[in-house]
Amino acid sequence: MALSSTSGPADLNRELPPAERMTRLIQQIREADHAYYVLDAPILDDGAYDALLRELRALEAEYPDLANADSPTRRVPGEPVESFAKVSHLESLLSLGNCMTDEELARFFQRVGNLLGRAPEFHCEPKFDGLSIALVYHDGRLAVGATRGDGSLGEDVTANVRTIRSIPQTLRGRAPAVLQVRGEVIMDRTSFLSLNETLIAAGEAPKANPRNAAAGSLRQLDPRITASRPLRFFAYSAYSPDGLPVGSQAELIDALRDWGFPTSASNRHAPGADEVVAYVRQMETTRRDFPFDTDGVVVKVNALADQAELGVVGREPRWAIAYKYPPEEAYTTLKNVTVQVGRTGVLTPVAELEPIVVGGVLVSRATLHNAREIARKDLRIGDTVVVRRAGEVIPEIVAAVVERRPDTATIWQMPDTCPSCGAPIRQVDDEVAVRCSSPANLCRAQLAQGIEHFASRNCMNVEGLGPAVVEALLENELIHGPADLYRLTREQLLPLPRFAERSAEKLLANIAASRSADLGRVIDALGIPQVGHETAQVLASAFGSLDRLAAASEEQLNELEGIGPSVCASIRGYFDEATNRALVDNLLELGIGRAPLDGAAGASSDSGDRLAGASVVITGSLSRPRRYFEELIEKAGGRSADSVTSKVSYLVCGDAPGSKLEKARKLGIPVLSEAEFLELIGASERTTAGG
């Protein structure tokens, strides 16, 4: 949760009796969860949200007899279980029939039309590639969470389900007294890749895909492991023995949202077969923009009465079908294996492939993770291999086709020295990965990767500072570390390839704008091992400035909620290294990472919360760097989004806009010019992004 708070711990009446204070805190936390997971419009930033949880935990520890069984603090139980008990579903969880061609889909339309004696309306939904579960609520409270199992009998994973924050423990509004909700537990691609990195570093086999990662995470015997995995839930159907208070699938989706469940924003009502086909074609492309995997589209007859009339054959409903897109795999040749050096010095083998089109994208390289993975899959140079776009984006080698292996195929070995600087490689006892033994500032590859990470979108967000530019700056000895970026001049940039007056000025403006990055971004940009975006935000909230964080003891770090001993040791170890401390001192001298001064310049004071809860997308070229306008949006209480959906409040449009403008107009989203946007938030001409 990453936006300005409209209310926080300081707003609570400290004079309230403990029971009322607990009730107030629980209500605020539930509202924040609902805004974040269901409405996609956060109302609390990470620090304020965590502060509410800390205060609630403290009260529950002081007054255990007053603690609520449905408290948000109870999402993570203490002890693992020995096995999962079996549980019967209130209504069988049916499986869907599949089709993969327009002809097969047309036969489905014809079949339901013949059975009903007319052409029905339909409802279309993305087919999530995750783990199907059923949630049972009694009088609005979560009672049971179970896997699908055989459709009639599943495994009781209630303790694990309670750790997933997008699943409400208590329903909103008036829901049936007994309600079974079905949906999908998923893991997004970014979290999947991060999990695999963690597993590989720990010597464990990586997960094959996000679906396997989600399923494995939910079926952990220790709920604390599940709680550490970033799982999400989307609801798509429900059953009540007393009947549902809706008449169609579209109305059911609305009811699920009203009760507090996240549902897909891409669900669509389709009046007829033509609209279904158009949705299928559209989703084939747009699903690639989703942060999570989908492998098809689910088409349902919309009216629940029609569904009941059509009935079920075996374990498949006659009223629904899954249109599945073809698997995105291909065969090609593993030509060679090269090694990349990351910003932490880890050597990662990369497959050089005979170029092949996989899922519409030309693939010529794929990660191989580490030497142990290559050996496990028995990959050899010269092999025919199966290539898949993991998460529909990242290319990976699934397996070697051993029966096609040529006599000339050779076994690959990890080099003994760093391919970038020639230093010997080393292996830490508890790691699978091998590392360059050189310090980051003496290994060109580590240095380049570190600067790219520093400037990346989730960190300092310096647009235009890609690998080629970083390499040119290092090659010409214009920079020797991230802090040197802020000392670059136009005269230094102009002689470099692809730089002219305008591009040089634009890069310098983007670098200058990044000075105003919030402390969490600055900490993330340092690249401290084991510290990602969320941990960086916790550290920023706790210490308030880079110098105070750098001076924090390991004991002080260990007192922070959600940060374990290993991470604390890594943070302390980072700041104890002279090279890293020099970088921190450099940034502080530049005014980056310091505690904000009272009355510091910023958006004009009347901008207030004019965008409170609003989602804003920027497209086209504006008069100043994009980061400048993102800062204005955040200071006005809104959030900057990347893609245009029905949830977007405004589109700010500059010169040469792309397809986002057309999509916004189709969805009826207000389109603002730069001047109109500044007028809306009350920003004066004196407003500066850099503070």
547-582 pLDDT, tens per residue?
999 999 998 998 887 688 888 999 999 999 999 999
Q: Does a structural domain hold residue 688?
A: no
Task: Tell me the Cα Rg of the chain.
Answer: 27
Mean pLDDT of 625-652: 79
CB 129 within 8 A of CB 210: yes
Helix H, strand E, coil C: the string for 251-318 is HHHHHHHHHCCCCCCCCEEECCHHHHHHHHHHHHHHHHHCCCCEEEEEEEECEHHHHHHHCEECCEEC
pLDDT for 631 equals: 75
pLDDT at position 44 over 90:
no
660 — phi, psi (to 5°)?
A: -60, -35
How would residue 4 be classed by pLDDT, with cut points 50, 70 and 90?
A: very low
The domain boundary residue, chosen from 295, 324, 353: 324
Are residues 352 and 301 located together in one domain of the fold? Answer: no
What residue ranges in 50-177 does DSSP mark as E strands? 86-88, 98-99, 122-128, 131-138, 141-147, 153-155
pLDDT in tens, 603-615: 333 445 677 777 8
Query: Domain range for residue 484?
Result: 441-589
CB atoms within 10 A of CB 642: 10
- Please tell me the least confidently modeled range out of 68-77, 461-470, 492-501: 68-77
Least confident of 200-204, 216-220, 293-297, 616-620: 200-204
At residue 190, the pLDDT reads: 80
SS3 at position 140: coil
Q: Are residues 304 and 169 in the same domain?
A: yes
Q: Do 336 and 397 fall into the same domain?
A: yes
Which is more confident, 52 or 687?
52
Residue 600: the pLDDT is 36
Q: Which two tokens stand for residue 396?
A: 């990976």
Count: domains in the chain: 5
CATH of the domain at 355: 2.40.50.140
Note the pLDDT of residue 3: 40
Higher pLDDT, 34 or 559: 559
Residues 60 and 158 in one domain: no
81 is a domain residue: no
CATH number at 303 reads 3.30.470.30
What the block records as the tokens of 163 is: 């750790």
Same domain? For 272 and 177 the reply is yes
Question: How confident is the model over 506-553, as pLDDT tens digits?
Answer: 899 999 989 888 898 999 999 998 888 778 888 988 888 999 999 999
SS (H, E, C) 426-467: ECCCCCCCCEECCCHHHCHHHHHHHHHHHHCCCCCCCCCCCH
Shared-domain flag, residues 657 and 610: yes
More confident residue, 396 or 685: 396
Rounded distance, CA 165 to CA 73, Å? 11
Give the predicted TM-score (pTM) of the model. 0.53
312 and 349, same domain (yes or no): no
278 within some domain: yes
Task: Answer yes or no: are the C-beta atoms of 523 and 587 closer than 8 Å.
Answer: no
Residue type, 286: T
Which domain-ending residue is among 390, 406, 422?
Answer: 406
In a domain, 2, yes or no: no
Instruction: State CA 523 to chain mean position distance.
Output: 19
> Cβ distance 445 to 340 under 8 Å?
yes
One domain for residues 65 and 169 = no
| pLDDT > 90 fraction of the chain, expressed in percent and rounded | 42
Chain length of the chain:
691
The question of whether 324 is a catalytic residue gets the answer no
- Claim to verify: residue 449 and residue 306 sit in the same structural domain: no
pLDDT mean over 582-609 = 67
48 versus 378: the higher-pLDDT residue is 378
Q: Which residues, listed in sequence order, are joined to residue 394 by a DSSP beta bridge?
A: 390
pLDDT above 70 for 8: no
Tell me, what's the pLDDT at 262?
93
Question: What gap in Å lies between CA 11 and CA 447, rounded to an integer?
Answer: 45
Instruction: Please check whether residue 422 lies inside any domain of the structure.
Output: no
| pLDDT band for position 23 (cuts 50, 70, 90) | confident
Q: Which CATH number fits the domain that encloses residue 453?
A: 1.10.150.20
pLDDT in tens, 355-385: 887 765 678 888 888 888 899 999 999 999 9
Identified catalytic residue from 86, 127, 324, 663 = 127
Least confident interval from 253-257, 375-379, 631-635: 631-635
- Asked whether residue 342 falls in the same domain as residue 235, the answer is no
Question: What CATH number is given to the structural domain containing 616?
Answer: 3.40.50.10190
Once rounded to an integer, what is the mean pLDDT over residues 134-142?
95
- Looking at residue 37, its pLDDT comes to 66
Asked whether residue 315 falls in the same domain as residue 340, the answer is no
pLDDT of 20 higher than 80: yes
Q: What is the pLDDT of residue 14?
A: 58
Instruction: Establish if 218 belongs to a structural domain.
Output: yes
Residues 503 and 533 in one domain: yes
